[in-house]
Amino acid sequence: MRRILVPTDFSEEARNAYEVALAIARRTGAGIKLLHVVETPYYTPNFSATGDVMVGSNGMEQVYMLRLLEATKAQMNELIRSYPTNGVQVVHEVEVDRPISKIKRTIKDDDVDLVVMGSKGSSGFDEFLIGSNTEKVVRSADCPVLTVKHRHENFEVREVVLASDFKREIGQAIEKFKLFQQVFGARMHLVYINTPGAFESSANLKQKLEHTAQKYGLQNYTTNVYNDTMEEDGILNFAKEVRADLIMMATHGRTGFAHLLSGSIAEDLVNHTQIPVLTVQIK
């Protein structure tokens, strides 16, 4: 792991995400980029983050944007001063753009290995890094996304839950899950949630989970079949039972009408659990 991206709106949740990113960077030797995207109520391409004004902007827009950029850069500097880096290389960027577009472009251009984001969850949808914007990054990012809600002063991962249907597609994400497990030396609990609507025998499911573990060379793991009425509830209940520090899930990243029809358990978990969630998009 070499590059970690932390989008920030300077909220408490975003600060929590930065603190977790620093803990991961210390373990992996990765560098961090802090990114804040200034999105005006009337998005305009007439400004750059350096304060340069392009042709076509009016006086009121100039004053508003220059003051906003000045205040934003001061907030960024204060954030960096607030947390000791202990040798972690931290760079920062303030840009005028659409948040999701800039985050996706930064992931690609900077070859980002991990995005760490703050989230309030299912309430307060009027802020930058919560609700639909977090879900959009989870759904569309080409690298793993770690979503954090609460402060973790000493971020440690000892017990990890990997929830899946363990079909072939999981192979696209398993190496990234293994890497995160290895960084912390954690125990991985593979779990299949058995629901009334898609019930399978425990013996068959256990065999499927063990086959997955052997196929991908997993170590320090357990295999589990957990019965519940709904998949999301089952994952949350199982995670509580094993006192999980992290939930890992793959997401298909569906968008538009297909997403509305199928829903996304990974995105629902990001909204509803207090446990950090690591998601990896599979095609």
- pLDDT at residue 182 in the model: 95
Which pLDDT score, from 0 to 100, does residue 210 have? 95
Residue pair 251/279 in contact by the 8 Å Cβ criterion: yes
Q: Which two tokens stand for residue 282?
A: 């599979």
Beta bridge partners of 163: 191
251: exposed, middle or buried (Cβ count in 10 Å: 0-12, 13-18, 19+) = buried
CB 162 within 8 A of CB 41: no
pLDDT at position 28 is 96
The secondary structure element, H or E, covering residue 194 is strand 187-194
Q: Does residue 213 contact residue 191 with C-beta atoms inside 8 Å?
A: no
Q: Does domain 3-148 have CATH number 3.20.20.140?
A: no
Same topology for domains 3-148 and 159-281, yes or no? yes
Q: Look at residue 228 in the predicted model and tell me its pLDDT.
A: 94
d(CA 137, CA 278): 12
pLDDT attached to residue 199? 86
Question: What ranges do the domains of the chain cover?
Answer: 3-148, 159-281
**Do 35 and 106 meet the contact criterion of CB atoms below 8 Å apart?**
yes
Phi, psi of 163, deg, nearest 5: -100, 130
- pLDDT tens digits, the chain, 283 residues: what are they? 999 999 999 999 999 999 999 999 999 999 999 999 987 655 455 555 555 544 455 667 677 778 888 888 999 999 999 999 999 999 999 988 888 899 999 999 999 999 999 987 654 434 444 446 777 888 888 899 999 989 998 899 999 999 998 887 788 899 999 999 999 999 999 999 999 988 889 999 999 999 999 999 999 999 999 999 999 999 999 999 999 999 999 887 654 433 333 347 777 788 778 999 999 988 7
Is residue 204 helix, strand or coil?
Answer: helix
Question: Which top CATH class is 159-281?
Answer: alpha beta
